[in-house]
Copies of this chain bind each other. A is one copy, B any other.
């Protein structure tokens, strides 16, 4: 049974990004790990925001960014995640539906406000994040739209969703629905510290439920508790059908069917803000995969999408990615 009518459904933390420039001294003074995501509570979010420079607000969330990328490429998709019925929740819903992604998870009508991620971009373009999960903690298996998941070629799970307590159960439930429908399950490891917080659960999920794994060097090394990328890559091989391992400026490696494909990064004039680089790589990759393209082409589309996103502030595409991909001759 493989009656997929949409390309990808993403499940993740529904977050609005608050993006500002900052220097490394500020991050050190605030005790934030450079380049990583730190979970913060409402009070800390408020105090950190007070100290941050002028900011812009835009919809984010790792899987949300990926779905926006897939829609911008011309793919079809849905999104499942929890906002509150407040202004930021409206902003999130507007932005993801405006680009054509189905998003019908009901907003929470009580409890904490819509999640926000304080993104601090250092002069090298790297982003460091403090996330207040807010309404995301309310996502539960009851929020899953089984028909939507069953209709998607790929169900894409954001690793960050292991942090809100009830979401892990939703995760496994979604994977089971996808597999019952004869479709594939993809997972992004999201962040090395997130992997560290939930290592056993991630390993179990990767080995048992994941068909396509996305991870960067730090994340895959964290999963297998090694400092050596080659070792980590060797370890993941037997566990998933496809592993796409991203290496920043060094491109990516795709491991599948015993083969390894090296994919070059697409150079950009200036790295402005790396927020969303991994999310958009996944968007390009999954878009290619759902079009039946060869894995090296999927990787090349991913690299191109990542290059677009790091050349401006913000984690959602500024132009239409389909045009870029066509111009590059990849479709």
Please list the residues of chain A having a beta carbon within 8 angstroms of any beta carbon in chain B: 20-21, 49-50, 52-59, 68, 86-88, 91, 94-96, 98-99, 312-314, 316, 318-319
Contacts and interface: CB of A to CB of B under 8 A. Distances in A.
Nearest to A17: B56
B59 A58 contact: no
A27 to B, nearest CB: 16
B94 A55 contact: yes
A57 B87 CA distance: 12
A59 B68 contact: no
Given A87-B87, A87-B88, A88-B87, A99 B53 contact: yes
Contacts of A55: 58, 91, 94-95, 98
| Among A52, A58, A96, residue most surrounded by chain B Cβ atoms (within 10 Å) | A58
A86 B86 CA distance: 11
A22 to B, nearest CB: 11
A91 B53 contact: no
Contacts of A98: 20, 52-55
B54 A57 contact: no
B54 A316 contact: yes
Given A87-B87, A94-B49, A313-B318, A56 B56 contact: yes
Contact of A56 (B49, B53, B57): B57
A54 B59 contact: yes
Nearest to A71: B54
Contacts of A52: 94, 98
A35 to B, nearest CB: 21
10 contacts: A21-B318, A49-B94, A54-B94, A54-B95, A54-B96, A54-B99, A55-B58, A56-B314, A57-B58, A313-B318
Interface centre among A53, A57, A59, A94 (most CB of B within 10 A): A57
**Central interface residue in A56, A68, A87, A88, by most chain B CB within 10 Å:** A56
B94 A57 contact: no
Nearest to A91: B57
A53 B99 CA distance: 6
A238 to B, nearest CB: 40
7 nearest A-B pairs in the assembled complex, by CB-CB distance: A57-B57, A54-B95, A56-B58, A54-B98, A53-B98, A87-B87, A54-B99
Nearest to A87: B87
